[in-house]
Amino acid sequence: MRIFSFLADAVGTVVTPAFLLFASLGILSSAGVKRVFDLRPLLGRGKRSGNGASPLSALSLALAGTLGVGNITGVASALMAGGPGAVVWMWIGAVAAIPVKYAEVLLAVRYRERVGDGWRGGAMYTIRNGFGGGTAARKAGAVFAVLCATNALVTGNLIQSNAAVSLLPGDRRVLWGIALSLSVALSVCFGTKRIERAAARLMPPLTAFFLLVSLAAVLPHADLIPGILKDTVRSAFSLRAVGAGAMGFTVREAVRFGVMRGIFSNEAGCGTSPTAHASADTDSSEQQAALGVAEVIFDTLILCTVTALVLLTADRVAGGFPWGLDADPAPAALEGFRVLSGKIAAEGIRLSTVLFAYASVIAQIYYGIGAIRYITESKKAEGAFLALSVLMPVCGAAVSPGPMWMIADLLLGSMTILNCSVLLLFRGKLRPAPVRNPPNSGSKASSGPRPLRKYGTRP
């Protein structure tokens, strides 16, 4: 366990932030700041063939994998382990992640493949098709696919299920885990198309409710916010231990837990959400990349910030926030809402968080299926993954969250390092390129040592 702790600390504190920063700077130098942060493509309407998910549905599916537990439990975990300064590093990580999200979504749409009446893509396809489809490229893509499938089971299922079950009443965690497993099994039985639709449809009302309740909790205490922000910034850059409750935090803890929990929340750089964006029925990779940028802004810079303000304000009002690594972050987050808004609002947040977790689990199953199908078309392999996915909520209900967060940090860090390395190598491909194949084209891509399935869009 000490080795895992050391590796998670090294990956989260130094290696992952460094790769994220280098990739961000490389992408900005190649694509340009104006192009990366330009959201005007959102106002356009790309051509559609009538097959596959709409661009907004693809965004909703991506948000299903990021919003909710990451915004609530992830933020609480970051504060408990890294102190108030973790919020600032979450912001810094999000700003650095925006160019990375832009690049990974743009390339995922550009290098996806036509399969039947839809699209199949993601970071593993970007690796394979971007490098020409050779043996080494296929194997590198397979390495990422294995990490992605494992991440879908651990980060996307165990942690989500653990957070959901810890919020449910009573001490029968395993029974709640079984109930969640049955719900997941029901969704899985309907296939990937239904999984995609269910996750996408849950997100808009859940997100609106969470945002309204959070703002209603914070705004009556608006006079406390300037002091909270001042302490947060001071804690983020202090080389000495800055007190928070009974604990003291330095910049080391703030960086590690702020950046890693930010990646857990917005998934920028780790290469998972491009799987959802690649399914969009659009001929404009620029438009889908702009939706990816909006995803990071909305997820981390808005929703995570609002959650952090709720928890830090609740600590100012009533005290007793469980600073440290031992407490369970999900109940701690719920208590913050109860302190500021009362029991009814807290119960609403409890229910919405459970539904967020459910949406995240089925969205991550979608990602995992995509990874398995990259490796093999075997129905047995896909069935084995789905069986594990159905069992994971029971396991998540029975284990402590501490070790799971450590494993999640290692998985997310490894995926981010690999994905950002590829994006750095592909930064020259981010410049405007000629049209490859429109959505209805029947032509084959001509580059690479072997024929690729129909892929690509106009930039």
Q: How many CA atoms lie within 13 A of 306 on its CB side?
A: 23
Q: What is the pLDDT of residue 169?
A: 76
Structure tokens at 328: 């369970």
Q: What pLDDT sits at residue 323?
A: 61
* Helix, strand, coil percent content, the chain, rounded in steps of 5: 75, 5, 20
**Which pLDDT belongs to residue 444?**
41
**What pLDDT sits at residue 11?**
64
Q: Please, are residues 272 and 430 in contact by the beta-carbon 8 Å criterion?
A: no
The reported pLDDT for the residue numbered 239 is: 57
User: What pLDDT is recorded for position 436?
Assistant: 47
Q: Residue 32: phi, psi to the nearest 5?
A: 95, 140
CA angle 406, 410, 413 (to 5 degrees): 130
Helix (H) or strand (E) holding 118: strand 118-120
pTM, 2 dp? 0.82
Beta bridge partners of 202: none
pLDDT at 450: 37
Give me the residues paired with residue 115 across strands.
Answer: 118
CA distance 164 to 141: 32
Architecture category of domain 2-33+51-428 in CATH: Up-down Bundle (1.20)
Is residue 355 within 8 A of residue 208, CB to CB? The reply is no
Q: What is the pLDDT along the chain (459 residues), one digit of tens a residue?
A: 566 566 666 665 667 777 778 888 888 888 888 888 877 766 655 555 555 667 777 888 788 777 767 778 878 888 887 788 888 888 888 888 899 999 999 999 999 998 877 788 999 999 999 998 889 999 999 999 999 999 999 988 988 888 888 888 777 888 888 998 998 888 877 766 676 677 667 778 888 898 999 999 999 999 999 999 998 888 887 655 444 443 444 555 666 667 777 776 777 888 898 998 998 888 778 888 888 888 888 888 888 899 999 999 998 888 766 665 556 777 888 888 888 888 888 888 888 888 888 888 888 898 999 999 999 999 999 999 999 999 999 988 888 777 787 888 888 888 999 999 999 999 888 876 543 444 444 444 333 333 344 555 544
